[in-house]
Amino acid sequence: MSVRAVVKMFPTSFDGMPPLLESGARLHGKWSGRTYSIVKQLGSGANGVVYAGRLGDQIQAIKLSCQAADIALEYKALSEWQKTGSATFAGPRVYELDDAVIHNTPCFFYAMEYVRGETMDRFVSRRGVKWVGPLILQLLTSLYAVHQTRHAFGDLKTENVLVQTRDAKVRLIDFGGMTPFGRGVRQFTKWYDRAWWGQGERKADPTYDLFALTQMICALCLPEFEKKWIDSNRPGPELWGEWVRVIERDERVRLWKPIVQSVWNGHIVNTLAMRDAVRRAVVKGIVDLPKVSATTGTGRKPHENKRLTSVQTNHKSKPDADWTTWFLVLSAAAACFAGTFVWHIWS
């Protein structure tokens, strides 16, 4: 094969990444004829970059890569799922698959909905671990929808989950790891990969995602471990025993321990079972409120729970009312209503 042919075969330069686009640069789609104006870079992964790009008066997210096949397969999985018109579609909406030439390098991209929000770890570190339960519940609904398409999400991690700024709704982003059941997972991250920990195969099935989800819960409640342990370069199977003991002992994951262990032991094998368990834990968390709030700093505005002062002690006050408050207020209201109703019947 001639040198030219080699160059043509490997248009990717030597590091496999597409050439970088400055903000203001134009991306011209060869097939659609559309031109996107790059606003900024949103993120980059192992073999691609995501940009925010303006098309007319709309901002879209554009995933750009030199790997034609990866981009095409990712787009295919998302668009086929979207086309079923399923109400449970949980991905970003995809608009267009196209290619472009950037600095003489052929690149491939697809345009999708631009999801505005912050990553789950940042959201939780800012607003408190009390959010873990409600967010995981939402995430399980999304994962259930993914699994209904006979795919695993694959690369499930806090960085790939965005919490929308406006409504705290959870959105999955980066579907590069989405893999048909039974096939080797396309993209994954050590900490969330059960095979790396020596806890099973790297094959896509519902439990692959559930394992990643347990790691996510633990990483959110015990944020100091992931980086430290991955940086130590020790092999996963060697760390596993230690990790199990951490989960066993650490007070901060007490609420989640039974669920995490059930997934690890194979007692919980699908999203529905896990959702039930998480729902129960969330309710239990509310019943245990004084303890939870004492360890996590969950706070309520004093004036909002005058009637609840008997169960509340030592809270720091925080500006925003959280969902647990609403739950308590609503139950109190329901109790009042029931009381009135009974009184009415009696009289």
Active site residues: 155
Q: Which of 196, 211, 256, 264 binds other proteins (CB under 8 A)?
A: 196
> Who contacts 122 (Cβ-Cβ below 8 Å, separation ≥6)?
none
| Residue with smaller CB distance to other proteins, 13 or 88 | 13
Stretch binding other proteins (CB under 8 A), from 196-204, 211-219, 241-249, 258-266: 196-204
Contact 161, 119 (CB under 8 A): yes
Report d(CA 295, CA 215) in Å as an integer: 21
CB of 57 to other proteins, least distance (A): 24
- Contact status, residue 124 vs residue 131, Cβ threshold 8 Å: yes
The answer to whether residue 342 forms part of the interface with other proteins (CB under 8 A) is no
* 42, two tokens: 């949103």
Show the binding pattern over residues 276-305: x = contacts other proteins (CB under 8 A), - = does not.
------------------------------
Q: Among residues 101 and 334, whose Cβ is nearest to other proteins?
A: 101
C-alpha angle 155-160-165 in degrees, rounded to nearest 5:
160
Q: Tokens 């991209």 identify what position?
A: 109
CA distances to 29, 37, 79, 129, 274 from 34, rounded to whole Å, are 5, 10, 19, 43, 44
Which of 23, 40, 46, 283 touches other proteins (CB under 8 A)? 46
d(CA 27, CA 153): 29
The single residue among 23, 31, 40, 267 that binds other proteins, judged by CB under 8 A, is 31
Total site size for other proteins, rule CB under 8 A: 35
Minimum CB separation from other proteins for residue 71, in Å?
9
Span of 91-99, 150-158, 280-288, 322-330 interacting with other proteins by CB under 8 A:
91-99
Is 68 in a helix, a strand, or coil? helix
Q: Is residue 121 a contact partner of residue 216, using CB atoms and an 8 Å limit?
A: no
Round to whole Å and give the CA distance between 236 and 196.
Answer: 5
Closest among 292, 299, 303, 301 to 316, alpha carbons compared: 299
Piece of 11-19, 50-58, 278-286, 296-304 that binds other proteins (CB under 8 A): 11-19
Binding piece for other proteins, criterion CB under 8 A, among 12-20, 243-251, 287-295, 311-319: 12-20
Taking the least distance from each CB to other proteins, the nearer of 46 and 342 is 46
Residue 78's SS3 state is helix
By the rule CB under 8 A, 19 interacts with other proteins: no
* Element housing 340 (H / E): helix 323-346
Residue 9 contacts other proteins per CB under 8 A: yes
Cβ proximity of 178 and 212 under 8 Å: no
Query: By CB under 8 A, is residue 76 in contact with other proteins?
Result: yes
Q: Which stretch binds other proteins (CB under 8 A): 120-128, 190-198, 214-222, 271-279?
A: 190-198
Q: Which residues bind other proteins (CB under 8 A)?
A: 1, 3, 6, 9-10, 14-16, 31, 46-47, 67-69, 72-73, 75-76, 97-99, 106, 182-185, 190, 195-196, 201-203, 231, 233, 235
